[in-house]
Structure 1
Amino acid sequence: MTEISNTQLMERLTLAADNVSAKLGGLSDADVLAPTDLPGWTRGHVLAHIAHVSNAVARQAEYALRGELVDFYDGGQGGRTQAIEMNAGHTADEHRAYISSAFTRALAVLGALDDAQWQLPVSYRNGDVRGVGLAYWRELVIHLADLNLGRGPETWSKEFCLYLIGFLSSRVPPELQLKLLPLGLAPLTVGAGETTVSVSGMLTDIAAWLSGRTPTMGSLRAEAAADSVELPALLPWPSAFPVQ
């Protein structure tokens, strides 16, 4: 995928936040309590996470501008879990207000950055603010799909899918090389192992599978040495926390 500029990234983030906000407008309190495909999480858990990650993104950028490093989540992984559980049971109106405030905070600080400030170091993955912005894009798009409100993986753009596949290449086990064959598009190769497995299907389904979500547009097909095989097991999602 051609690398998007910082200005383009802000456009993607604003659109993603707008898409989330638009889908929240009609939610009832009962809708918030509905289960999702994420184990143990209701819609309320996903909504609490979206708000919490938005504030975490803002926090990374705010501290970076001061020349300071801070944990991505206030209180680390334990703080993340506690905040989600504490806020998951909020009413629909409370979730809307919390997310709106968090979106405003995150988009304001990121939108005010110049190109040099996007390169400021942060603790998130031992990277920079741009890496945080890209993570925010992933979080907003993927978790909107998790809410099951009509914006599933089938709505993901080609640009987002190609970016996500590249980011998630670290989920390919070291012994495998995946030859991805998205319908109507050029093949992609991820992984560097000696055993090749071909996976064919819609681009959105391939991206959904790599992200641990259910393909929605049809069946993915996997082959190895010209024989049909099961889709390979993938490694865990890349950790949000730096390697010590």
Structure 2
Amino acid sequence: MVARHDQATDPGLLEALLQARRGTAFFARKLNELSVDDLDGPSLLPGWTRRHLVAHIGYNARAIARLVEWAASGVETPMYASPEARNQEINFGATLSPIALRHLFDHSAVHLSVEWRDLPTQAWHNEVKTAQGRVVTAAETVWMRTREVWIHALDLDNGATFADIPVPVLARLLTDITGAWQTRGTDEGLVVKVTGRDLTLGDIAAATPTVVSGPLPAVVEWAAGRGNGGVTAKQDGAALDHVPTAPKWI
């Protein structure tokens, strides 16, 4: 029997799909390391147990699959009926039995991967609307999922670190986060510098900026609001005693 492959042919898109699927596999590995009792423990997200986080990732795959179906059919299919419906779904998912919760993750991930696989090349350019109201092409759904699985694999609080995330994903995460700050105007006077790489972002034109610097994984961890280990801060060339809290990302 002939194996089925992605219909997409663009090399950049195929690489993006690979990173999304690798992130899904990484999340699966960290999830599978957790015992039944571990699932009841807290995640790194305030107010959410690991159960809530796994449910979110499962239902997120279904929601993104709906956008891919929209791009394929032209029939508007929103990610969620409403923000309230999304929250209710996650809260319900957190009550599932451990085996049902794991099946939710596994089956929804496969469903999304198949929807991506079967999307015709031209349909990747079709526009859909995210839950936040952004109009994007179907190709953006790959990054939407990539970001979710890699970041939330760390939020399972099961030993994963930002150093486990591939460099291209880290670099795009940092660009996305600092871009969100710039859009909201919350990065005034703040510059982010990645040591060992020619990468400086933020309010570069500021006269006396606060410069937060460190290796790429550490800088992204700080920017994503997950900690400040490995980063330092300076203002006017003088070291600060405390690294400032990063502006809100999402």
1:115 aligns with 2:125: no
Residue identity opposite 2:220 in structure 1: A
Partner-residue secondary structure (3-state), 2:16? helix
- Partner Cα distance (2:77, 2:225) in 1: 29
Q: Counterparts of 1:68-79 in structure 2 under 5 Å?
A: 68-73=75-80, 75-79=81-85
- How many angstroms apart in 1 are the aligned matches of 2:13 and 2:86? 27
Evaluate the alpha carbon distance shift between residue 15 and residue 236 of structure 1 in structure 2; reply closer, same or farther with a 3 A threshold: same
Query: What SS is found at the alignment partner of 2:59?
Result: helix
Q: C-alpha distance in 2, partners of 1:87/1:204?
A: 31
Matched residue SS, 1:176: coil
Q: Which residue of 1 aligns with 2:6?
A: none
- Residue identity opposite 1:211 in structure 2: A
Shift of 1:79: 1.1
Equivalent residue for 2:38, pick from 23, 31, 34: 31
1-structure distance, mates of 2:129, 2:26 = 28
1:145 aligns with 2:154: yes
Q: CA deviation at 1:234?
A: 4.0
Ranges in structure 1 where 5+ consecutive residues have no aligned partner: 239-244
Instruction: Confirm or deny that 1:157 pairs with 2:166.
Output: yes
TM-score, normalised on structure 1? 0.87
**In the alignment, is the contact (CA less than 8 A) between 1:174 and 1:192 conserved in 2?**
no
Helix, strand or coil for the counterpart of 1:41?
A: coil
Q: Quote the residue 2:237 is aligned against.
A: 226
Any conservation in 2 of the 1:179–1:187 contact (CA below 8 Å)?
no
Q: Percent identity?
A: 23
Alignment of 1:86-101 (within 5 A): 86-101=92-107
Q: Is the 8 A contact 1:177 1:189 kept in 2?
A: no
The aligned residue for residue 126 of structure 1 is 135
Q: How many residues are treated as equivalent by the alignment? A: 233
User: What's the secondary structure of 2:17's corresponding residue?
Assistant: helix
- The Cα shift of 1:129 comes to 1.1
CA contact (8 A) 1:174 1:193 kept: no
Equivalent in the alignment of 1:242? none
* Amino acid paired to 1:221: T
Residue ranges of structure 2 left out of the alignment (5+ in a row): 1-9
Q: State the Cα RMSD in Å.
A: 2.1
Contact 1:10 / 1:111 at 8 angstroms: preserved in 2? no
- Structure 2 vs 1, CA of residues 182 and 234 (structure 1 numbering), >3 Å: closer, same or farther? closer
